[in-house]
Structure 1
Amino acid sequence: MNVWNRTLTAVAAGAALAGALQVPATAAAPALSWQECGGGLECAKLTVPIDWKRPGGAKTRVDTARMPARDPARKLGSIVVNTGGGATIQPVRSMPAVVSELTTWFDVILIDPRGLGDKGSDSLVECPVPQPGIAGLVMAPGEAGWRAQAEANAAYDASCREAMGPAYAGLTSWQVAHDLDALRAALGEPKLRYLGNSYGTVYGQAYLELFPAKVGRMVLDGIPDHTQPSLERWLTNYARTQEQQLTRFRDWCRAGCALGGDDAIKVFDDLLARVRRAPLPAGGQTVNERAFLVAVTEGLTPPAWPRLAAALRKAADGDATDLAKLRPLPPERPAYTQGAMLCHDFMPEPPGYRDFLAMESRLRAAAPRIGWVQGRYQVGRCVGMGGGPAYPPHPLRAGSAPPVLLAIGDTDANTPHLGAEHLAGRLPKARVVRHGDGHAAYLMQGAAGLNGTCLRRHVHDYLTAGTLPPSGARCPGDLVARIPRG
């Protein structure tokens, strides 16, 4: 779940939920000392307890930054933004257009989650051991591959634990939601106005449950569903959405792409049958069935569609070199703590190998072409990790929260729209705006200079005036429409 790119037992889930709903008394609002930090930003440290259940205990510091309103005399207040998927301040510093339009009305307050932070900040924790690649369980599908992925994940997790020290105990979205409330208080805002993208929506979901009376206006875009306690159902939403993504790619290609008049799904099926018989040549290497599935999975993100179409065309002609180039990049060095937090929040008790195989057989039945691969992608993030802080998925209880705005993208397979729709069903007061774009659509439209789009108008009307879009609102795919067809 990256912006810029579970079955739990009933006993465990119930115990975790009971703990999650024990909201500690709000600590006194900490002071923020804003200092210029370059790029038109002012930065400050927010001091918070490592564990909000023990507010008088040891402390840690969280990075925040302010992008001041263009006209301070006319601003409507502050809006807190988390872009998800890792740090927020660094990406916005390098690409301010993703949120700068909001300064028409607000001071934009950026907050990084625990363990992350601005470049050079002492809040930014580097884990010496990288997390293994997301495709590890696909490329090495047997039990030995499972053990290797688990060992690599465990080594990454242990290195993060050592690097972060005692503050590692606070690495959950439950703690971050409390940090958001401390930031709200420090800003002097009676209610939180919040825009969360991607993983930032997990913090928003936690805030809705923990502080419903403090919710002002909240926009969640690119939503990973934290309200589904069944790992298999959660994975099935990923699998079915990815299977639909192949169909959407085919439909996009029909209007013109490198495949010419060929049906993209038929090309996929034919190539899959070929690589099952024998690997395809790819320059000095080959592409086997597993590498083919990983390449197509990576290529189904809408911005990659032209590359995928060209690579499939070339592979159908006997050269899989470009398909091989679609495989994910090696793990980054240094690594950061977001991967550990994801597992604490979504999979604190990963399934065993045999249990997963049984689950996978049902995923293959639900999404037989390409979607079932998502089971190995998602479980591969967390197998081998466990025993750390946990905030597992559970049904959301936020009935007293005011209406919030959920943006759901038809072509978002990163955080599947089926999961986002499940969350929407848990929030009867929520209003949904569907759109034809993919992940992080609000931010990416801003980065592309598309400030007057249907989606952004709905978001701004709601944030500034509380005007929700009509029921059933739908916006076009403004970014998808700009994808070159090659």
Structure 2
Amino acid sequence: MRRRTAALGSAGALITGTLVAGALAAPAASADQRHRPDPETRGTAVAAQRAADQGIDWQDCPADWGLEKPIQCGWVTVPVDYARPNGKQIQIAVDRIGSTGTPTERQGALLYNPGGPGASGLRFPRRVTTNNAIWAGAAKAYDFVGFDPRGVGHSAPISCVDPTEFVKGPKLDPVPDSEADKRAQRKLAAEYSEGCAEKSGDILPYINTLNTARDLDVVRAALGEKKLNFVGVSYGTYLGAVYGTLFPTHVRRMVLDSVVNPSKRKIWYEANLDQDVAFEIRLKDWMTWVAQHDATYHLGDTYAEVREQWETLRADAKKNPLGGKVGPAELIGFFQNAPYYDSMWVPVAEAWSAYAAGDPQPLIEAAAADLTDTAGNAASENGTAVYTAVECADAPWPTSWKKWDRDNSRLHERNPFMTWSNAWLNLPCATWSTPRQQPTEVRTGKGLPPVLITQAERDAATPYEGAVELHQRFKGSRLITERDAGSHGITNLANPCLNTRVEAYLLTGKLDSRDVTCAPHATPKP
């Protein structure tokens, strides 16, 4: 799932061009249904055949995309509504870099989705141009292909508010002190929902995981690939799980890293509640580490002392926003990076330490980065718009404020770091105007090959139970657990126990005979 950004007044991945009709049909409950696939399934087959015939006109990437040669860019045309494949069309932005090995080593295209929903995958080919050693072996065998999912970036982007207003701070403190504070946040959430409908209404009903999975199959066909090789991280795991359910015979290799719990009961309301607990656990891990390095950071030599420093900082920013623009919401938006990614333990601690030592500027600049980066404002607003649109459309959400209030008030008592911030981010779904779908029943379809699942045991954004759930649902899959670790997106971290197995699977398709537990990757050092 995407990194929470400061938002809403709170905090803040066919060689012959021939398609086999039976292979495209989603798993069906009856023989009659098998002979009469639903309109969206038929529409996907039509769109995929068209894309296979047209291919992709690869060109140098536009200069302002920030993608250096030899990366190339192109477009794949998909229908807005798969039930009407000849109706209104949009273009999906894609990019690629060719495999670095010999022609005999090449195994096709490897597609990537980094999560969100709402994140762009176009930077994936840069793992080759920047000489990312972890992916060097896979790069010999595969063209690395990224794409902007529908609604994201260059792929018919949607918007819900003016980007300059979206990033303006300081925002309301996510933690309410009164019923009036809650009413103010509820008003902002309802206005955001209305803004989405007003600014993106025509396409908004079609921004969801099912359609993104169908787009993925059309991109596969446009690439000339008979079967999909795919790496999905965070929300990309749910996208991959839905794709594997809809198109099991179209999967060749699939790595799903840091897994969204695919249970219909969890998508998406309860999944976000589970995050609140997991973030609190991982925040304590980081603050304990900060305390162990008190000689460097001088923020306290016990977890309790470091936590008290956080509460003091938060209170100070509420009373007098730092630099006039960083309040509690912006602080949470910055500090949440540490529970998300081990790579952020040191930068966040350093900025905080400097503030405590009398130099507030590093912390202000880091926490207010979204407020001052004009080029990033639109991307930040767009990412949150897609995040909201997909999660709101994928499943029914509670519409009763009493339920939201009861659930989050209870959780906040023991998990105060992220609970209310997360609630306000998702509250637009309570008043969402476009139709909701029932979540996909993720399961092993006939012909689905073994899938590799990787997960850190203490992941905050996608708690470990999600990987276990998907492992049970995808029969024949293998689960690699990184023990006593909690970074999000572990396939891009240096851990030989994990890296060698991911590479071996991508290159040979072979998996261990049983699930594997790896020791954690190296703990950050000051």
Q: Do both proteins adopt the same fold according to a TM-score greater than 0.5, normalized to the shorter chain?
A: yes
> Does 2:86 align with 1:56?
yes
Counterpart of 1:398 in structure 2 is 444
1:289 and 1:187 map into 2 onto residues whose CA distance is 46
Seen in structure 2, the aligned counterparts of structure 1 residues 232 and 69 have a Cα distance that, compared at 3 Å, is closer
Give the letter aligned to residue 35 of structure 1. Answer: Q
Does the 8 Å contact 1:82/1:110 carry over to 2? yes
Q: Distance in 2 between matches of 1:185 and 1:295?
A: 40
Question: What is the deviation of 1:432?
Answer: 1.3
**1:246 alignment partner in structure 2:** 283
Q: Secondary structure at the match of 1:303?
A: helix
| Residue aligning to 1:363 | 411
Greater CA drift, 268-277 or 191-200: 268-277
The alignment status of 1:45 with 2:83, answered yes or no, reads no
Q: 1:355 to 1:187 in 2, by over 3 A?
A: same
Q: Distance in 1 between matches of 2:323 and 2:92?
A: 47
- Aligned residue pairs total 458
Match of 2:504 among 433, 455, 461: 461
Aligned equivalent of 1:89, options 122, 125, 148: 122
More displaced 10-residue stretch of structure 1: 154-163 or 464-473: 154-163
Do structure 1's residue 256 and structure 2's residue 301 form an aligned pair? no
What CA distance in whole angstroms lies between the structure 2 residues aligned with 1:286 and 1:344?
28
1:76 is aligned to 2:76: no
Instruction: Say which of 343, 348, 372 aligns to 2:388.
Output: 343
1:108 alignment counterpart: 144
> What is the letter of the counterpart of residue 59 of structure 2?
Q
The whole-number CA distance in structure 1 between the counterparts of 2:209 and 2:490 is: 23
Normalising by structure 1, report the TM-score: 0.78
Contact 1:280 / 1:286 at 8 angstroms: preserved in 2? Answer: no
User: Is 137-146 or 214-223 further displaced after alignment?
Assistant: 137-146
**Match of residue 24 from structure 1:** 41
1:282–1:321: 8 Å Cα contact kept in structure 2?
A: no
Partner residue in 2 for 1:182: 218
Instruction: Tell me how far apart the structure 1 counterparts of residues 323 and 217 of structure 2 sit (CA, whole Å).
Output: 55
Relative to structure 1, is the Cα distance of residues 426 and 344 closer, same or farther in structure 2, using a 3 angstrom cutoff? farther
Q: Does the CA-based 8 Å contact 2:159-2:385 persist in structure 1? A: no
For residues 65-464 of structure 1, the aligned pairs below 5 Å read: 65-71=95-101, 73-74=103-104, 75-85=106-116, 86-90=119-123, 92-93=125-126, 96-97=129-130, 101=136, 102-117=138-153, 121=154, 123-125=156-158, 129-130=162-163, 131=166, 136=172, 138-140=174-176, 142-156=178-192, 161=197, 164=200, 166-230=202-266, 233-250=270-287, 252-253=289-290, 256-257=293-294, 258=296, 263-271=301-309, 297-301=336-340, 302-309=342-349, 327=367, 329-330=369-370, 333-334=377-378, 335-348=380-393, 349=397, 351-364=399-412, 368=414, 371-385=415-429, 386-391=432-437, 393=439, 395-400=441-446, 401-435=448-482, 436=485, 438-443=487-492, 445=493, 450=494, 453-464=496-507
| Runs of 5+ unmatched residues, structure 1 | 6-16
Alpha-carbon distance, 1:50 to partner:
0.5
Q: CA deviation at 1:219?
A: 0.6
- Distance change >3 Å, CA 467–CA 252, structure 1 → 2: farther
Deviates more, 1:275-284 or 1:96-105: 275-284
Q: Write the distance in 1 (CA, Å) between the matches of 2:158 and 2:322.
A: 39
The two structures, once aligned, show a CA RMSD in angstroms of: 4.1
Partners in 2 of 1:3 and 1:292 — Cα distance?
14
- Measured after TM superposition, the shift of residue 416 of structure 1 is 3.0
Corresponding residue SS for 2:259: coil
How far, CA to CA, are the matches of 1:294 and 1:4 in structure 2?
Answer: 7
Q: 1:148-189 deviations in whole A, cap 9, x for unaligned?
A: 445445555555555556333321111010011112222332
Does the 8 Å CA contact 1:191/1:216 hold for their aligned counterparts?
yes
Counterpart secondary structure, 1:383 = helix
TM-score by length of 2: 0.73
Kept in 2: contact 1:48–1:60 (CA 8 A): yes
Percent of matched pairs sharing the same residue: 24
Cα distance between partner residues in 1 of 2:416 and 2:456: 20
Question: Does the residue aligned with 2:203 lie in a helix, a strand or coil?
Answer: helix
Shift in alpha-carbon separation, 1:149–1:392, aligned structure 2, 3 A: farther
Write the letter of the residue equivalent to 1:381. L
Question: Following the alignment from structure 1 to structure 2, what is the Cα–Cα distance between the partners of residues 134 and 287?
Answer: 5
SS of 1:377's equivalent? Answer: helix
SS in 1 for 2:41: coil
**Structure-2 change in CA distance of 1:61 and 1:274 (3 Å):** closer
Q: 1:428 to 1:143 in 2, by over 3 A?
A: farther
Q: What amino acid is aligned across from residue 343 of structure 1 in structure 2?
A: T
Contact 1:409–1:438, Cα closer than 8 Å, also in 2: yes
* Contact 1:43 1:65 (8 Å CA) reproduced: yes
Partner secondary structure for residue 345 of structure 1 = helix
In structure 2, the partner of 1:9 is none
Deviation at 1:81, TM superposition (A): 1.4
Letter in 1 for 2:77: T
Aligned 8 A contact 2:352 2:363 in 1: yes
Partner SS for 2:275: helix
Q: Secondary structure at the residue paired with 1:174?
A: helix
With over 3 angstroms needed to count, the CA separation of the structure-2 counterparts of 1:405 and 1:322, relative to structure 1, is: same
Change (3 A) 1:91 1:187: closer
Amino acid of the residue matched to residue 81 of structure 1?
A: Y
User: Partners in 1 of 2:249 and 2:228 — Cα distance?
Assistant: 10
- Per-residue CA deviation, residues 220-249 of structure 1 (Å, 9 max, x unaligned), is 113333434246642342122122213422
Report the alpha carbon displacement of residue 100 of structure 1 after superposing the two structures with TM.
6.0
Aligned match of 1:33:
57
CA 1:414 to 1:39, structure 2 compared with 1: closer, same or farther past 3 Å?
farther
Classify 1:34/1:263 alpha carbon distance in 2 versus 1 (closer, same or farther; 3 Å): same
Partner SS for 1:56: coil
Check whether the contact 2:287–2:307 (CA below 8 A) recurs between aligned residues: no
Aligned residue in 2 for 1:14: none
Distance 1:172-1:389 versus aligned 2 partners, 3 A rule: farther
| CA distance 1:191–1:270, shift in 2 (3 Å) | same
